[in-house]
């Protein structure tokens, strides 16, 4: 089955620790995205990557970092610099030439 | 103001029609989308409409687009309890945007039996 996987589904971390969220896709999509979702806030774009070894900041990139070493993978690191990291994080991907984005199931991060 | 605006809540009775409204700002958007999110899950594409269309129907779903007013609506006929979810409207940015989507804050649809 083709799709996007995010792991883990729930993640707990202590304040001050960095944490990396996984996103993998086997759809052969070129572009990948990370969004953050807070209640009543909709989706806000953190980072996106149009192609391997390239990525751009979205609207709320501060306190986050990404890498795109492989086409299938786009991990997101939530650093200790992120002031309020507790949220639901969604990864998405898209094939070039098409605007439709396919979403993973999300990771709920709770920082204690 | 917001790029894409939606009301936050809608409550309907089972069997009634639901209409979820959305306004957007980028007149060069080529596609407009409706996504559905069930609790604790990712977003699932429901339907989309190309900007040169006025209406698109897909089974119980009808999308209406008023490009002049930049208004998009999603009508769900014969709403069922399984339709309870958050519905997001999204617009694609204009040309040269590399396919980024701008999402509204989502409308939470509650269906009462």
Each residue of A60-87: pLDDT tens digit?
999 999 999 999 999 999 998 888 999 9
Query: Are residues A99 and B104, on separate chains, in Cβ contact within 8 Å?
Result: no
Query: Are residues B48 and A100, on separate chains, in Cβ contact within 8 Å?
Result: yes
From A37, which residue of chain B is nearest by alpha-carbon distance? Answer: B105
Percent of chain B's residues with pLDDT above 90 = 74
Which residues are registered as beta bridge partners of A45? A35
Q: How confident is the model at residue B40 (pLDDT cuts 50, 70, 90)?
A: confident
pLDDT value of position A1: 60
Buried b (16+ CB within 10 A) or exposed e, A2-11: eebebeeeeb
Averaged pLDDT for residues B83-108: 82
pLDDT at B97 over 70: no
Query: Are residues B30 and A100, on separate chains, in Cβ contact within 8 Å?
Result: no
Confirm if B102 and B1 have CB atoms less than 8 A apart.
no
Query: Are residues B99 and A98, on separate chains, in Cβ contact within 8 Å?
Result: yes
Q: How confident is the model at residue B2 (pLDDT cuts 50, 70, 90)?
A: low
Query: Are residues B101 and A98, on separate chains, in Cβ contact within 8 Å?
Result: no
pLDDT value of position B95: 46
Residue numbers in B near A96 (CB within 8 A):
99
- How far is the alpha carbon of A55 from chain B, nearest alpha carbon, in Å? 12
Q: How confident is the model at residue B31 (pLDDT cuts 50, 70, 90)?
A: confident
Averaged pLDDT for residues B61-74: 95
Measured over the CA atoms of residue A53, residue A8, residue A24 and residue A31, the dihedral's sign is negative
Is residue B27 less than 8 Å (CB to CB) from chain A? no
pLDDT at B94 over 70: no
Judge residue A53's burial from the number of C-beta atoms within 10 Å of its C-beta, 0-12 exposed, 13-18 middle, 19 or more buried.
exposed
pLDDT at A112 over 70: yes
pLDDT value of position A99: 76
Residue among A101, A104, A105 whose CB faces B101 most closely: A101
Q: Identify whether A8 is preceded by a cis peptide bond (ω within 30 of 0).
A: yes
CB proximity under 8 Å: B 40-59 to A:
40-45, 48
Q: How confident is the model at residue A27 (pLDDT cuts 50, 70, 90)?
A: very high
pLDDT value of position B110: 97
Query: Are residues B45 and A94, on separate chains, in Cβ contact within 8 Å?
Result: no
Judge residue A63's burial from the number of C-beta atoms within 10 Å of its C-beta, 0-12 exposed, 13-18 middle, 19 or more buried.
middle
pLDDT value of position B83: 97
The string of pLDDT tens digits covering residues A8-26 is 999 999 988 999 999 999 9
* Structure tokens given for B38: 């069930």
pLDDT at B16 over 60: yes
Averaged pLDDT for residues B50-68: 94
Average pLDDT over all residues of chain A: 93
- How far is the alpha carbon of B56 from chain A, nearest alpha carbon, in Å? 17
**Spatial CB neighbours of A97, under 8 Å, sequence gap ≥ 6:** none
CB proximity under 8 Å: B 81-110 to A:
88, 92, 98-101, 103-106
Query: Are residues A104 and B41, on separate chains, in Cβ contact within 8 Å?
Result: no
């Amino acid at each position: 089955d083709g799709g996007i996987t995010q792991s883990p589904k729930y993640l707990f971390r202590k304040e001050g620790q960095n944490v990396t969220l996984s996103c993998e896709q086997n759809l052969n999509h070129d572009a990948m995205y990370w969004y953050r979702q807070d209640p009543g806030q909709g989706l806000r774009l953190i980072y996106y990557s149009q192609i391997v070894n390239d990525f751009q900041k979205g609207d709320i990139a501060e306190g986050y970092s990404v890498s795109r070493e492989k086409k299938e993978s786009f991990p997101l690191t939530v650093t200790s610099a992120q002031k309020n990291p507790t949220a639901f994080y969604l990864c998405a991907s898209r094939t070039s030439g098409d605007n439709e984005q396919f979403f993973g199931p999300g990771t709920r991060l709770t920082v204690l | 103001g917001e790029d894409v605006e939606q009301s936050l809540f809608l409550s309907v009775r089972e069997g009634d029609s639901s209409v979820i409204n959305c306004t957007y700002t980028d007149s060069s958007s080529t596609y407009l989308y409706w996504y559905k999110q069930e609790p604790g899950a990712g977003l699932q594409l429901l339907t989309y409409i190309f900007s040169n269309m006025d209406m698109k129907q897909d089974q119980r779903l009808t999308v209406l687009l008023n490009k002049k007013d930049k208004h998009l609506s999603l009508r769900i006929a014969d709403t069922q309890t399984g339709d309870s979810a958050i519905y997001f409207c999204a617009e694609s940015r204009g040309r040269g945007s590399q396919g980024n989507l701008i999402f509204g804050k989502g409308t939470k649809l509650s269906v009462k039996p």
